Amino acid sequence: MNCIMKSQSKAPIIIIVLLFLLIFNSCSYRKSKFSDDKVFRYNEHSNITSLDPAFARDQRNIWAVNQLYNGLVQLDDSLNVQPSIAKNWKVTVDGERYKFYLRNDVYFHENELFGEEKTRKVTAYDFEYSFNRLLSEQVASPGAWVLQNVEMFKAENDSTFVIDLKRPFPPFLGLLTMKYCSVVPKEVVEFYGKDFRSNPIGTGPFKFKLWVENTKLVFRRNNKYFEKDDLGNSLPYLEAVAITFLPDKQSEFLQFIQGNLDFMKSLDASYKDEILTTSGDLVEKYRNNVVMQKGAYLNTEYLGFFLGGEEKSVIKSKEIRQAINYGFDRNKMITFLRNNIGTPANNGFIPKGLPSFNGQLGYTYQPEKARKLVEKYKRDNNLNEVEINITTNSSYLDLCEFIQRELANVGLKVKVNVIPPSTLRQGKANGKLPIFRASWIADYPDGENYLSLFYSKNFTPNGPNYTHFSNEQFDQLYEQSIQEVDRDFRVGLYQKMDSILISEAPVIPLYYDQVIRFSQKNVKGLGINPIDLLTLKYVKKKANE
């Protein structure tokens, strides 16, 4: 809390300086060959590193790549798998063969390398090339894992693409919606090599125009885009997308309030109390000009216990892990530290927004129960006090200090260690941190993605099991679930596994995050979804509103 108060005391001086700079330079944000209602403008805090879908690893790259490329399938805002370049598909009864039938009206963006026509039609052979490239050791794509369950893929002809799996894997269609699986043209990729990152050619609703790294990125409308709206109108509606790279989030907020940005994607401590009430609503002075959207986000924020350490470690005690889960008020934490953005994680590890979300109550605030568990541990081990160490980065210090104060009231002494994000990631992966702050954002919309963190064969560094949790019943259910083709039965298995996690407490779920989006009042069709994917092909801007 002290950190917040100090930063607020400096805010007026910072705002005055930034206002002067931004007013002086604001005209540069408005110059465009298109009318204001045809250009969508947003900001990225960090520079985009690549426009190659093979490197669409984090949100900044994924959002940009999503405007430029298409894959076989795509997700709608309800996380249903929908056709994209594949107009339809068939899956064999055993769940091991997928056959995709491609549209015949999808063309790559124009480029001189295609010859006289400057473009060409996408075929199944382009997907064969793109998937082989994703697996190439020379390319070294971080997305190669997406195809780890694939035995074989091939183009049967121009319009038919076949994928055989090593074993049934029901979430596979969801995996194919990831931007890693976008189609790219061989002749252009091989001409540019590594420079394809800054010379992208795809099939998406927008095409590449200009990139001045760390300054500005511009896309133009793809007039030959294949998708149409429900009335038969060609998509997209916008003429251009302009992305800036202001690193300071308070500067971004000021640009948004001045109307120089159409969209702001997140909430930051530097301005959260300026724009939101403590109950999570827009403050009154912005209600006439700003639209706020909130929805479930497939992101669970948590504290993890490393269970692979010494047997005498205090966190090996399930009683202590349960005491910590009972010992702090998640509702109060969300209200006062996050302005009610997020849902207290009083259930399992799988977040709200997925069908397998566990409605069974997990841990609520029960300080007396937590105190009794701590006292029992002290008696059983002949201890006068119990001390634990939580490691976090500075962005989550306020949450960890809140937990520290709450747990002191139930008899636990807590030390909070703050280290850089990169050191935290490394320590978590190497099992060097007894208790670590972490989050898990879904790579694909299936409960299996969350439960894989606790499968014993996924111990780090060979998998995402950072806690080194091992439970025979859990493993049996996991192995059964990944081969179960009946969706409802599979969801039941997921919920059983989540119940085991509640009981054994290898983690402390803190909250299920929410997507929060702010846009100008004249922006229509932006949408919101639980994977926080930015889709601009349906966006319209109304003039003079």
On the 0-12 / 13-18 / 19+ scale of CB atoms within 10 A, 238 is: buried
Q: pLDDT, tens digit, for every residue of 499-542?
A: 999 999 999 999 999 999 999 999 999 999 999 999 999 999 98
The hierarchical CATH code for the domain 2-46+205-289+521-541 is 3.40.190.10
> Confidence band (pLDDT; 50, 70, 90) for 32?
low
The answer on pLDDT for 422 being more than 60 is yes
CA 413 to chain centre: 34
The hierarchical CATH code for the domain 70-198 is 3.90.76.10
Residues 6+ apart with CB under 8 A from 9: none
Residue from 463, 450, 392 nearest 425 by CA: 392
For domain 296-514, say whether CATH 1.10.490.10 is its number: no
Residues 6+ apart with CB under 8 A from 506: 304, 305, 307, 321, 454, 467, 469
The answer on pLDDT for 196 being more than 90 is yes
Instruction: Give the separation between CA 540 and CA 497, rounded to whole angstroms.
Output: 43
> Can you list the alpha helix ranges (DSSP code H) found in 350-486?
367-381, 397-408, 421-430, 448-451, 472-481
Q: pLDDT, tens digit, for every residue of 38-81?
A: 999 999 988 899 999 999 988 999 999 999 999 999 999 989 99
Question: What's residue 19's pLDDT?
Answer: 47
The answer on pLDDT for 17 being more than 60 is no
Residue from 171, 175, 167, 174 nearest 94 by CA: 167
Please enumerate, as own/partner, the contacts of 462-465 that have beta carbons within 8 Å and a separation of 24 or more: 464/440
State which amino acid sits at residue 117. Answer: E
Residue with tokens 């910072």: 14
Q: pLDDT, tens digit, for every residue of 208-244?
A: 999 999 999 999 999 999 999 999 999 999 999 999 9
The answer on pLDDT for 36 being more than 50 is yes
On the 0-12 / 13-18 / 19+ scale of CB atoms within 10 A, 488 is: exposed
The answer on pLDDT for 6 being more than 80 is no
Domain boundaries, the chain: 2-46+205-289+521-541, 70-198, 296-514
CA 288 to chain centre: 30
Q: Name the 3-class secondary structure at 205.
A: coil
Residue from 541, 543, 471, 463 nearest 501 by CA: 471
Instruction: Give the separation between CA 171 and CA 484, rounded to whole angstroms.
Output: 10
pTM for this structure? 0.84
Q: pLDDT, tens digit, for every residue of 156-186?
A: 999 999 999 999 999 999 999 999 999 999 9
412-418 and 386-392 beta bridge pairing: parallel
Tokens for 512, please give them: 């299920």
- Kindly state the percentage of the chain with pLDDT values over 90: 81
**Are 163 and 150 within 8 A, CB to CB?**
yes
Q: From residue 66, give the alpha-carbon distance in Å to each of 70, 200, 209, 425.
A: 7, 12, 15, 27
Instruction: Give the separation between CA 392 and CA 303, rounded to whole angstroms.
Output: 9
